[in-house]
């Protein structure tokens, strides 16, 4: 059984990947604040010290939950989606990575997955190791790695990470992963969803780390596979709700061609249609292509009706010209989530959650490559 933990957990791409692959696993903990910011000035280090001084993880969690109940009462939509789709003990879903004491889970985690915003660090001599990254969310990811000591971690980030801040950001991260944490890491590699079975152009960078004391084969990134489907195959027009699933043998998508009826709330008004089909202004031009075979990157801002050059629109009819946006279900499909994934929040929230997710099929390919190293045995 794979003991899984995630930070910046979102709606569970790695959880869904393990499920689709049929791999027995247990969620040890998850952590995501759902982009809800605390509306109070706080001395992070001082509050963390207070939290970590509490005797049990349950008391620590209660203290953090109380903080959020006082200073951010917004609904935690990400948690609602996550808990509707995965089994996790309430005491093991954490609201803020900054106040998560990973030492409570020492040696309980086999696989840790997460990412963090790309931030530059103090690079004065790179002498202080992990401390040089304090104040960034990368520091929190690295700290959790250090405190839980997983066998393997998967770190995901934007494709420009290695060139950010003239390469200093990645050099610092690399030093932390190898010298401070003691992990053998793969060279960062950008993987595109369209190379792993999903018709979407979505490029993200991945780094895999294997704990240095584990006797394992070297990790090799998965090779690409031919793309069998187009975006049109994923649409509810051509595959009705309930007919998008996965193969129980290898986890690959299974699409049953069938006539469906997308909700008309996703149809564009004439005014919005004319806007998104506009090529732009004198000083700014954009593509007006619609009905693409490979979707543009799914964005969390899909509900804002971007021009066709930065979003995905589908033609409902030519005369009169009627367009629609992707449905919430189609957005999830294009991120690798089958139709049995429960939608328990609004379409607006699902679009945000899909746009923030990692493509499940890319995660599946990475997991299969990790298994070949024997590091999780």
What residues are labeled active site? Answer: 118
Answer whether 323's CB lies under 8 Å from 269's CB. no
Please state the φ and ψ torsions of residue 84, each to the nearest 5 degrees.
-75, -20
Query: How is residue 326 written in tokens?
Result: 């992707």
The CA distances from residue 250 to 17, 89, 124, 361, in Å, are 11, 28, 48, 11
179-190: buried (b, 16+ CB within 10 Å) or exposed (e) per residue? ebbebbbbebbe
Q: At what angle do helices 57-71 and 44-53 cross, to 10 degrees?
A: 140
> What is the three-class DSSP state of 29?
strand
Is there a contact between 166 and 128 (Cβ–Cβ < 8 Å)?
no
Residue 102's contacts (CB-CB under 8 Å, 6 or more residues apart) are: 143, 144, 145, 146, 147, 148
Reply yes or no: is the peptide bond before residue 341 cis, omega within 30 of 0. no
| Residue in the block written with tokens 């929190």 | 140
Residue found under tokens 């959790």: 144
d(CA 131, CA 243): 50
Distances (CA, A) of 214 to 78, 110, 165, 169, 247: 34, 12, 33, 27, 32
Locate tokens 């005491």: which residue?
A: 91
The C-alpha atoms of residue 93 and residue 61 are separated, in whole angstroms, by: 9
Structure tokens at 56: 């049990």
Radius of gyration of the chain (CA): 22
């Amino acid at each position: 059984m794979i003991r899984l933990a995630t930070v910046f957990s979102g709606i569970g791409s790695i959880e869904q990947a393990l499920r689709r692959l049929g791999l027995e696993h247990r969620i040890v903990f998850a952590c995501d604040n759902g982009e809800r910011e605390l509306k109070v000035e706080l001395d992070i280090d001082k509050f963390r010290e207070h939290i970590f001084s509490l005797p049990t993880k349950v008391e620590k969690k209660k203290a953090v939950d109380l903080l959020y109940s006082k200073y951010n009462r917004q609904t935690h939509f990400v948690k609602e989606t996550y808990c509707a789709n995965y089994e996790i003990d309430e005491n093991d879903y954490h609201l803020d990575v900054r106040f998560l004491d990973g030492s409570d889970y020492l040696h309980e985690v086999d696989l840790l997955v997460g990412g963090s915003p790309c931030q530059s660090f103090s690079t004065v001599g790179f002498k202080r190791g992990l401390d040089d990254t304090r104040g960034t969310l990368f520091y929190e990811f690295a700290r959790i790695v250090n405190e839980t000591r997983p066998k393997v971690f998967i770190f995901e980030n934007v494709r420009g990470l290695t060139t950010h801040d003239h390469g200093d950001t990645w050099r610092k991260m690399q030093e932390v992963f190898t010298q401070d944490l003691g992990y053998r890491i793969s060279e960062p590699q950008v993987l595109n969803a369209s190379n792993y079975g999903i018709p979407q152009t979505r490029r993200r960078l991945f780094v895999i780390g294997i704990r240095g004391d584990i006797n394992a084969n070297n990790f090799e990134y998965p090779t690409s596979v031919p793309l069998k489907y187009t975006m049109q195959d994923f649409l509810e027009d051509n595959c009705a709700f309930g007919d998008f699933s996965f193969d129980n043998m290898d986890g690959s998508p299974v699409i049953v061609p069938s006539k469906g009826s997308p909700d008309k709330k996703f149809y564009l008004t004439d005014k919005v249609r004319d806007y998104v089909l506009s090529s732009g202004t004198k000083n700014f031009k954009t593509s007006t292509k619609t009905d693409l075979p490979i979707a543009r990157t799914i964005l969390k801002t899909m509900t804002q009706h971007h021009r066709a050059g930065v979003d995905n629109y589908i033609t409902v009819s030519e005369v009169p010209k009627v367009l629609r946006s992707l449905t919430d279900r189609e957005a999830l499909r294009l991120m690798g989530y089958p139709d049995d994934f429960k939608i328990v929040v609004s379409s607006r929230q699902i679009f945000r959650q899909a746009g923030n997710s990692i493509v499940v099929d890319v995660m599946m390919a990475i997991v299969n490559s990790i298994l070949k190293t024997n590091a999780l045995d």
